[in-house]
Structures are given as C-alpha cells and as structure tokens.
Amino acid sequence: MLAALESLRAEGDFSVEVIDVDADEALVERYDELVPVLMGQRADQPPQQLCHYFLDLPVVRDFLTRIEK
C-alpha cells in the first residue's frame, strides 16, 4: 500500500507516517485484521480510516482533494 500511495505524490502534497500496529496493544485491538490500514487526517478533524489491505485510489484522491481546499 505504501508504494501505491507514494505514486500519488504528483497529485498532492501530503506526509506519511508509518506506525507499527503490532507494537501498540490498543492499535492491535482496533486494527488487527485490517492491517495495512490507511488513515487520513485534516488538521481540524480527527483521523478517519480511508482504506485497508489495498489502496482505494478514488477514496484517497477524494480525501486529498478535500484537504487542499
């Protein structure tokens, strides 16, 4: 998923933070079977789950479009 996400760099400015879900018991409990999971966050809002297992290009592109506004 990370490689596919990096391919979107030309479409928008964003940062990526990779977090080891297995290193945090609370994250394992929450996302155990959904890893890899991609969360998106705007500065003024809580994080939201965008996709898991595979990159959902339409969802991520829509999110990137909304954060640029």
Domain 2-68 part of CATH 3.90.1580: no
**All structural domains of the chain with their residue ranges:** 2-68
**pLDDT grade for 69, boundaries at 50, 70 and 90:** low
Whole-angstrom distance, CA of residue 28 vs CA of residue 47: 17
**pLDDT grade for 66, boundaries at 50, 70 and 90:** confident
The pLDDT value recorded for residue 62 is: 93
Whole-angstrom distance, CA of residue 33 vs CA of residue 29: 9
Whole-angstrom distance, CA of residue 23 vs CA of residue 11: 32
Q: In terms of Cα–Cα distance, which of 23, 64, 67 is closest to 51?
A: 64
The pLDDT value recorded for residue 41 is: 92
Q: What is the pLDDT of residues 2-52, one digit of tens each?
A: 999 988 888 878 889 999 999 999 999 999 999 999 999 988 889 999 999
Q: What is the pTM of this model?
A: 0.87
Whole-angstrom distance, CA of residue 28 vs CA of residue 35: 9
